[in-house]
């Protein structure tokens, strides 16, 4: 798994052998198993350590005074959780597991050491947090401007693309260990409406999502209903289904030609 992380970081900056070794050493601690709904970092507390997520899903979230939860990012295997939080003195959000997960710690002091000695590695890590920020901005577009259908489609496009890049898809399907309620919290919708939207998406033969298992029937259709342009993910990977000009590319929405996504699985 650490190889996946290094490969991803090297897209952001070339790493020397020393830097790779240092990163390996920093993440070579014991593997911890954690249950579902367990907080790695809690809002308002000083950050403990960062964590490399090996298995399972986690999320960055906030809880509002009235108890509603907003999920601000999904974290998938290969992601470093709480890297940003770890660089600040006080965290303004929580990071928690969704289902059971496996992680390995990346101690805060080690991280500070790394950033003091290795400028290229630092740049790579910085850039990876910038991509997270770009994703957050895209989510802001999602909750602010898109209809429930487009919004949900967009989330599925993003997750499927990221899981594909991480090698966690098989064909046009993948495991997505989240409940409809987790989706609702990420989409700023109610579970009731997420359910209706999922029904509608199945009716349109875009996707089916059952038993925490996602099948994409028509990625092109999904993409165009979402207005999904994957550039912000900075994946640079071959897209899940080949190549096709991204749909809905009107004024200003930019997408590089190399990472467009295709119309139809099978």
Partner DNA sequence: CGTAGCCTTGACCGCCCTCAAATTATGTGG
Partner DNA sequence: CCACATAATTTGAGGGCGGTCAAGGCTACG
Q: Is 141 in the site for DNA (CB under 7 A)?
A: no
CB of 152 to DNA, least distance (A): 9
Indicate which of a second copy, DNA, none lies near residue 109 (CB less than 5 to 8 Å, by partner kind): none
CB of 114 to a second copy, least distance (A): 10
Q: Please list every residue from 61 through 80 that binds a second copy, using CB under 8 A.
A: 62-68, 70, 72
CB of 211 to a second copy, least distance (A): 28
Torsion of CA 198, 204, 210, 215, to 10 degrees: -120
67-81 as b/e: b if 16+ CB within 10 A: eebbbbbbbbbbbbb
Residue number, 31 or 88, with CB nearest to a second copy = 88
Closest CA to 264 of 223, 234, 203, 236: 223
Indicate which of DNA, a second copy, none lies near residue 132 (CB less than 5 to 8 Å, by partner kind): a second copy
Q: What is the DSSP string of 198-226?
A: HHHHHHTTSEEEETTEEEES-HHHHHHHH
Number of H helices, E strands in the chain: 9, 12
Judged by CB under 7 A, the residue of 22, 52, 163, 189 near DNA is: 189
Taking 3-state DSSP, the helix, strand and coil percentages for the chain, each rounded to the nearest 5, stand at: 45, 20, 40
Residue 144: Cβ-neighbour burial (10 angstroms; 0-12, 13-18, 19+):
exposed
User: Which segment (119-127, 162-170, 192-200, 228-236) binds DNA by CB under 7 A?
Assistant: 192-200
Ordered alpha helix ranges (H), the chain:
2-10, 17-26, 83-87, 108-117, 119-145, 148-165, 180-187, 191-203, 219-226
Indicate which of DNA, a second copy, none lies near residue 203 (CB less than 5 to 8 Å, by partner kind): none
CB of 148 to DNA, least distance (A): 4
Q: Compute φ and ψ for 218, nearest 5 degrees.
A: -150, 85
Judged by CB under 7 A, the residue of 53, 59, 75, 198 near DNA is: 198
Q: Is 195 in the site for DNA (CB under 7 A)?
A: yes
| Site residues, a second copy (CB under 8 A) | 43-45, 60, 62-68, 70, 72, 84, 87-90, 92-94, 115-117, 119, 122-123, 126-127, 129-134, 136-141, 143-145, 188, 227, 231-232, 234, 248-256
| Site residues, DNA (CB under 7 A) | 147-149, 151, 179-181, 188-193, 195-196, 198-199, 210-212
């Amino acid at each position: 798994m650490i190889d996946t992380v290094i490969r991803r970081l090297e897209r952001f900056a070339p790493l020397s052998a020393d830097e790779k070794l240092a990163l390996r050493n920093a993440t070579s601690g014991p593997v911890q198993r954690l249950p579902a709904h367990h907080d790695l970092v809690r809002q308002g507390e000083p950050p403990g350590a960062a964590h490399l997520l090996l298995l399972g899903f986690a999320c960055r979230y906030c809880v509002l005074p009235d108890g509603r939860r907003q999920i601000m990012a999904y974290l998938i295997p290969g992601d470093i959780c709480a890297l940003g939080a770890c660089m600040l003195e006080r965290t303004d959000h929580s990071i928690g597991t969704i289902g059971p997960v496996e992680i390995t710690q990346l101690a805060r002091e080690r991280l500070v050491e790394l950033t003091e000695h290795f400028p290229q590695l630092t740049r790579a890590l910085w850039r990876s947090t910038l991509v997270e920020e770009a994703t957050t901005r895209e989510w802001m577009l999602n909750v602010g401007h898109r209809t429930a259908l487009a919004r949900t489609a967009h989330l599925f496009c993003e997750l499927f693309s990221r899981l594909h890049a991480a090698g966690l898809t098989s064909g046009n399907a993948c495991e997505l260990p989240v409940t409809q309620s987790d989706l609702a919290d990420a989409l700023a919708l109610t579970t009731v409406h997420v359910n209706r939207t999922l029904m509608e998406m199945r009716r349109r033969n875009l996707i089916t999502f059952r038993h925490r298992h996602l099948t994409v029937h028509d990625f092109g259709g999904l993409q165009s209903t979402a207005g999904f342009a994957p550039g912000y993910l900075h994946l640079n990977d071959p897209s899940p289904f080949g190549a096709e000009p991204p749909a809905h590319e009107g004024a200003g929405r930019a997408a590089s030609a190399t990472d467009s996504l295709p119309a139809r699985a099978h």
